Amino acid sequence: MKIGIIGAGYVGATAAYAFILRGIGREIVLVDLNEQRAVAEAEDLSHAAPFAHPLIVRAGRYADLAGARVVVIAAGVAQRPGETRLQLLSRNAEVFRGIVPQVLAHAPEAVIVVATNPVDIMTHLTAHFAAEHGVPTHRVLGSGTTLDTARFRTLLARHLGVDPHHVHAYVLGEHGDTEVLAWSVTNIGAIPLDDFCRMRGHVLDEATRRRIDEGVRNAAYRIIEGKGATYYGIGAALARIVQAIRDDQRAILTVCAPTGAVGSVERVTLALPRVVGGSGLLDTLPLTLSPDEQAALEHSARTLRAAIDALGIG
């Protein structure tokens, strides 16, 4: 399987590294406006392959995406310290107006996975541009809150002393300031969270929940302040998404995609638990949230819809 990655910066290169370590794909093509950067990253990455899996990694141009089954878009300007993801919108929207048509001109059958922030709105834009080329909506998705969900599961698992793989918890809505931690539908194994805490004698009071919420919600800001960018977590998240597509796994992931309605908010792109398989998005799973969580999710949807409206796109 050929995988294209648009953008050979921190996120794109780290995603490629994660693909190599996990053996996802057979050929990876890096495309970047800075061709020298793409060539250098491809050479460096190819030297890792003998220690992991025999993938071919090379730099190329858009024409080299021909036959790609998945194209990851990680291009765009970086988030600045103190800058919200939504503030990136106007700067990155213009970048995508040039990228998406070129991707589809050479890889018209590919599933497109968007990683550029603000990812919900960039995914909405990508789906809009892709639809102009006859690409169905289910073949466009974004990383959404896949990483936020992993952060939530990790912090909660640490508090409870269990393996994060057995924490079934979701972060919904925007990948950003208005995201919603869905505590009310969280399970540890097959046991509802509150029941598990009672059984095991764990204290999960409001102060603890606020601490975990803050740990999830502000993780990116802390990392960017400390080292300038986030890339390991999202690189691994992208590898997980692409693996689900490659193997038609029908995995349940909190990716973002255009959604008909969230409460009273119509035509908005945000993250919900969705079934991801070989052709992209296969289904969206309904969740029965608490009234407060449902209200927070609708607030997140309204925030994103307002940003989409500012672009003048339906």
Tell me which long-range contacts 212-217 makes (C-beta under 8 A, separation of at least 24).
212/152, 212/155, 212/156, 212/159, 212/181, 213/181, 215/151, 215/155, 216/148, 216/151, 216/152, 216/155, 216/171, 216/179, 216/181, 217/148, 217/177, 217/179, 217/181
Torsion of CA 51, 53, 56, 58, to 10 degrees: -60
In residues, how long is the chain? 314
133 flagged as catalytic: no
Location of structure tokens 């213009």: 94
34, 216, 11, 44: which is closest to 119 by C-alpha? 11
The Cα 76–Cα 275 span in angstroms is: 27
Q: Are 140 and 114 in contact (CB under 8 A)?
A: yes
Hey, what are 33's tokens? Answer: 């406006």
Among the listed residues 165, 175, 202, 299, the single catalytic one is 175
Which CA distances in Å does 314 have to 85, 115, 166, 198? Answer: 21, 21, 39, 47
Give, as one character, the DSSP assignment of residue 173.
B
The Cα 293–Cα 170 span in angstroms is: 12
- Catalytic residues, which ones? 175
